[in-house]
Amino acid sequence: MQRRTLLAALPALGSLPVLAHHGWSSFDQDRPIYLSGKAVKVSWRNPHAELQLEVPENLALPADFARRSLPRQTAQVDGAALLGKAKVPTRRDRHWEVELAPLTRMQAWSVDEIKPGTALAVLGFTFAGEQGEAVLRAEYLFVGDKTYGLRSSPA
């Protein structure tokens, strides 16, 4: 009886929405995007930590942004070039879904669990042409006076 119930339920499972996990290749890595604001919702779990970021209406790139120092990572990331090419998004969404790193990497960087209400900034990548949902894959995370590289572990 249980087997028949399970088999009858399988077709219905195919119609449920699937939670998407986006690899780096889904994002336009030639166009780094800067966001800052306040974490509204946070999901601190694998496959990667995520948060919803509420950005101000007048989002602007800090004047000294291109001169910020960045931590070294084990992956080859040209952080200085990314900072120099950083832009604010052209779309005007006030809420962005931000994909961070897997929890093991967040722990390697000693990132404290982000709580709703935390002010932070991120530099990362959106889908090509900023099409689709307002999603940003974070390359660097800025919380207070700390900067974390999220592509790989600390060097």
Q: Is residue 154 part of a domain?
A: no
pTM of model > 0.85? no
CATH at 73: 2.40.50.140
The whole-number pLDDT of residue 24 equals: 53
Q: Is residue 90 part of a domain?
A: yes
CA 83/CA 4 separation, integer angstroms: 57
The whole-number pLDDT of residue 27 equals: 78
**Number of domain units in the chain:** 1
The number of residues in the chain equals 155
Q: Is residue 140 part of a domain?
A: yes
Separation in Å, CA 107 to CA 9, 136, 154: 39, 21, 10
Measured torsion, CA atoms of residues 74, 75, 77, 79, in degrees rounded to the nearest 10: -30
Q: Is residue 86 part of a domain?
A: yes
The whole-number pLDDT of residue 18 equals: 37
Domain membership of residue 83 as a residue range = 22-55+63-149
pLDDT tens for the chain, residues 1 to 155:
554 544 454 444 443 333 444 455 677 889 999 999 999 999 999 999 999 999 999 999 999 999 999 999 999 999 999 999 999 999 999 999 999 999 999 999 999 999 999 999 999 999 887 778 999 999 999 999 999 999 999 99
The whole-number pLDDT of residue 45 equals: 94
